[in-house]
Amino acid sequence: MSAGQPTVLVVEDEPAQREVLGYNLEAEGFRVAKAENGEEALILVDEEQPDIIVLDWMLPNVSGIEVCRQLKTRPDTRNVPIIMLSARSEEVDRVRGLETGADDYVIKPYSVVELMARVRAQLRRTRPAAAGLRLEFEDIVLDAETHRVTRDGSEIKLGPTEFRLLSTLMEKPGRVWSREQLLDRVWGRDIYVDTRTVDVHIGRLRKSLTMSGGTDPLRTVRGAGYSLG
């Protein structure tokens, strides 16, 4: 996996645990951002726009609970899944009782295999294409595992960039994506690409999708960007 891979934000004050977690997530093909405390986590959430957050409960100053509570009340971060890490099961019970809105809880010491499975389970819900699932929009079907796209039953050949572009759009039909957001998601944040490149590839995608006569499912939103449907 290269661009388009989900970004995981790891928030853990214990350096060794932070590194091990980061290493394993990268080995799974994720892009990893790391924060060592709650303040840094809140800054990185804005900078990195992670797809999922693995958040330690016990952090100095701003606790994991407080970070979780803040993110779950913000409209722009509310839907980002949060997996809380906690040292004891009683803590998990307390976190649950506090209704912080965490999506899942894992008790330390955890098995890396189990944690990875929990991360993937959350992403299947929020990033289905990245998780290799099959997506449908009207008569368009995208199989993220086999990388095949069909429209009204006929196969559509797409280049790798157009494929990633379509998967991104199909994950959230109706959502308007700015060119910058599409660049981050499809090309990756670490690569510099001109925003006009997005227009070029949207044009190619549009052409491929309408080649056999179907209506154009892509919408250009003036001054805002693009959406599917």
Query: Where does this chain bind Ca ion (CB under 5 A)?
Result: 13, 56, 58
Using CA atoms, how far apart are residues 124 and 113, in angstroms rounded to an integer? Answer: 17
> At its nearest, how many Å lie between Ca ion and the CB of residue 101?
20
Write out the H or E segment, with its range, that includes residue 93: helix 89-98
Of 13 and 199, which has the nearer Cβ to Ca ion?
13
Write the DSSP string, 127-147.
-TTTTT-EEEETTEEEETTTT
Q: Is the dihedral of CA 193, 195, 200, 206 positive or negative?
A: positive
Token representation of residue 66: 């407080």
Of 55 and 140, which has the nearer Cβ to Ca ion?
55
> At its nearest, how many Å lie between Ca ion and the CB of residue 108?
9
Using CA atoms, how far apart are residues 180 and 161, in angstroms rounded to an integer? Answer: 15
> At its nearest, how many Å lie between Ca ion and the CB of residue 58?
4
CB 58 within 8 A of CB 88: no
Cβ-closest position to Ca ion: 58
Length of the chain: 229
Of 104 and 143, which has the nearer Cβ to Ca ion?
104
Of 84 and 182, which has the nearer Cβ to Ca ion?
84
DSSP state of 30: -
Using CA atoms, how far apart are residues 138 and 6, in angstroms rounded to an integer? Answer: 25
> At its nearest, how many Å lie between Ca ion and the CB of residue 25?
17
Of 58 and 121, which has the nearer Cβ to Ca ion?
58
Rounded to 5 degrees, what are φ and ψ at 219? -115, 130
Of 58 and 133, which has the nearer Cβ to Ca ion?
58
> At its nearest, how many Å lie between Ca ion and the CB of residue 17?
8
- For residue 74, give the amino acid letter: R
> At its nearest, how many Å lie between Ca ion and the CB of residue 97?
20
